[in-house]
Structures are given as C-alpha cells and as structure tokens.
Structure 1
Amino acid sequence: MGNNRPIKTKCWIKFLEFKNCKYISTEASHDKWKCPGCLRSIIHRQKDKEIPAFHINSNLITMGISKAEFLEWIKENC
C-alpha cells in the first residue's frame, strides 16, 4: 500500500475505535470524533467510501501518530 493512497472509510473507523476514539456527532455530513490526548477533533466524511490521503495525514498529525505506524496497523488489520 502506497503512502498517498486513500484509505477505506470503514478501515479508518476501525482504527479510530482501536485508538479508543469516540464518535461525537455529525455536522454537515462530516463525522466528528474525539480521541484521548487530542486537542482537536478528528473529522472525516463517513458517507464517502474512501478518505483521501491528505485528510488521513492531517488527522494522524492531530493524533500524534506516524504514517508508518498507521500503515503497519492497516497492513495487519484491514
């Protein structure tokens, strides 16, 4: 899996749940999640089948997780 490919939405949600993030609400088709230790909410559009790589990257920065760690988790769990 390349570093700049979109990620399936259900796999991203599975990752958020693995990291103990909690769904908060949906506003204007964007789902808002709160993760432990994050100052900002994690935002994505669940109605899309895939989440663009740049959205994943910015959310990983917010979570303090490296792209390499995320891709390794994806490889093992999705």
Structure 2
Amino acid sequence: MDSIKVSCWIAFLKFKGCTYKSTEASHEKWRCPNCTRSIIFWGSKKEIPINHIFSNLRSMGVLKRDFTDWIAKNC
C-alpha cells in the first residue's frame, strides 16, 4: 500500500469523530478528539502518501493495524 484515496481517509476521520476545520492552500486541517495536534493533509490530491497517513495516525493515537483493518472493510 503506497497511498490511500482521500475519500477513504476522510471517511476514516469522520468515523473517528474528527471534524473539518479549514483549508489553507491545498492542505485540509481537521481536529480529532484526544489528538495531540491538528490532522493536516493534501485534500486537493486524489491520494495521500502512506507515510503522511501514518504520521497523522501517530497524532491520533491510532495503531496502523487498526487503520489498515478499517480500510480493508470500508474502502
């Protein structure tokens, strides 16, 4: 898995209770419960590189395995 579709990532964020806050340039900013910082990604692209996803998962306190299991079932 090299990248994730933006639509799948947004669906996962909503599933986790995150809310959209703003867009600055091409970057979307989301706020998630219990996050250490805002979740930021390129919303204008079709896909997001997996290393960006994994960095945001760390901020969310979500395990990679939990994310990949969710993606396999929902995207």
Q: 1:1-78 to 2 correspondence within 5 Å?
A: 2=1, 5-78=2-75
Gapped regions of structure 1 (runs ≥ 5): none
TM-score (structure 2 length as normaliser) = 0.96
**Aligned CA-pair RMSD:** 0.7
In terms of fraction of residues, the more strand-rich structure is: 2
Deviation by residue 1:1-46 (Cα, 9 ceiling, x = unmatched):
x4xx200000000000000100000012100000000120000111
Q: Which runs of 4 or more aligned residues in structure 1 lie more than 3 Å from their structure 2 counterparts after TM superposition?
A: none
Taking only the aligned residue pairs, the percentage that are identical comes to 57
Question: 1:29 corresponds to which letter in structure 2?
Answer: S
SS at 1:36 equivalent: coil
- The TM-score, its normalising length taken from structure 1, stands at 0.93
Structure 2: give runs of 5+ residues left out of the alignment: none
